[in-house]
Chain A
Amino acid sequence: IAGITQAPTSQILAAGRRMTLRCTQDMRHNAMYWYRQDLGLGLRLIHYSNTAGTTGKGEVPDGYSVSRANTDDFPLTLASAVPSQTSVYFCASSDGTSHNEQFFGPGTRLTVL
């Protein structure tokens, strides 16, 4: 693989179910991010990780958790999904330089019913 991959591409989920969105990058980037994108709103940061072993909360962290066991993987878990978590989720990574351009995965479209 080259770049960032996300899985699944799309998912329909019943409210109350647990769901993990996967994200893997092969660019050896230190920093990784999870965003959600909703119509009419900008990308909103859910959680981030500046290096393996560390994570931080973004603008909208409630209802989500993340882990960063290694450099490549950064899964996002919804412990008990609710309809307001219906969104498109993007994972991104950057190499942490001053330029800090972020590279995005293809996204996961999640619908919670």
Chain B
Amino acid sequence: GQNIDQPTEMTATEGAIVQINCTYQTSGFNGLFWYQQHAGEAPTFLSYNVLDGLEEKGRFSSFLSRSKGYSYLLLKELQMKDSASYLCAVKDSNYQLIWGAGTKLIIKP
């Protein structure tokens, strides 16, 4: 079966750095996405990785290792507004997205 694993919840301090991990086992791989979802709102796109390595976009970076079935999202200089759920999703061999359950990130002052 297909499986995406992420921690259920993480806590970090304002101004710090946090890394959210995602491991996956899917039938095929055609890219990995990270989305942010604030409570009661729709998911919004953060990043896309299809090749191994690090993609940096401002305070957010995403890393992919296809051989290990592993990705992480790195958030720097955390702000209170970063409190949200972070969803990892993999595009499978049918080009459909398989979603993890999400990691709820709590930022404390």
Which bucket holds chain A's interface residue count? Answer: 20 to 34
Residues of B within 8 Å of A35, CB to CB, are: 99
Q: In the complex, which of the residues A58, A102, A105 has the most CB atoms of chain B within 10 Å of its own CB atom? A: A102
Number of A-B contacts (CB under 8 A): 43
Residues of B within 8 Å of A98, CB to CB, are: 31
Select which of A44, A45, A101, A106 is within 8 A of B42 by beta carbon.
A106
Residues of A within 8 Å of B91, CB to CB, are: 100
Select which of B48, B96, B101 is within 8 A of A42 by beta carbon.
B101
Complex-state Cα separation, A2 to B24, whole angstroms = 34
Label chain B's interface by main secondary structure. strand
CB distance from A3 to the nearest CB of B (A): 10
CB-CB contacts below 8 Å: B74-97 with A? 87, 89, 91, 95-97
**Is the pair B96, A44 in contact by a Cβ cutoff of 8 Å?**
no
The answer to the question of A15 belonging to the interface, with a C-beta cut-off of 8 Å to chain B, is no
Complex-state Cα separation, A78 to B57, whole angstroms = 40
Indicate whether A104 sits within 8 Å of B42 (C-beta atoms), given known contacts A44-B99, A45-B96.
Answer: yes
Select which of B41, B42, B87, B95 is within 8 A of A100 by beta carbon.
B95
**Is the pair B48, A106 in contact by a Cβ cutoff of 8 Å?**
no
Residues of B within 8 Å of A101, CB to CB, are: 33, 45, 48
- Interface digits, B22-48 against A, CB 8 Å rule (1 contact, 0 not)? 000000000101000000011111001
Select which of A42, A45, A58 is within 8 A of B100 by beta carbon.
A42
The answer to the question of A48 belonging to the interface, with a C-beta cut-off of 8 Å to chain B, is yes
Complex-state Cα separation, A44 to B41, whole angstroms = 17
Indicate whether A41 sits within 8 Å of B101 (C-beta atoms), given known contacts A100-B31, A100-B91, A100-B95.
Answer: yes
10 sampled A-B residue pairs with Cβ under 8 A:
A42-B4, A42-B100, A43-B43, A43-B99, A44-B99, A99-B31, A104-B42, A106-B41, A106-B42, A107-B41
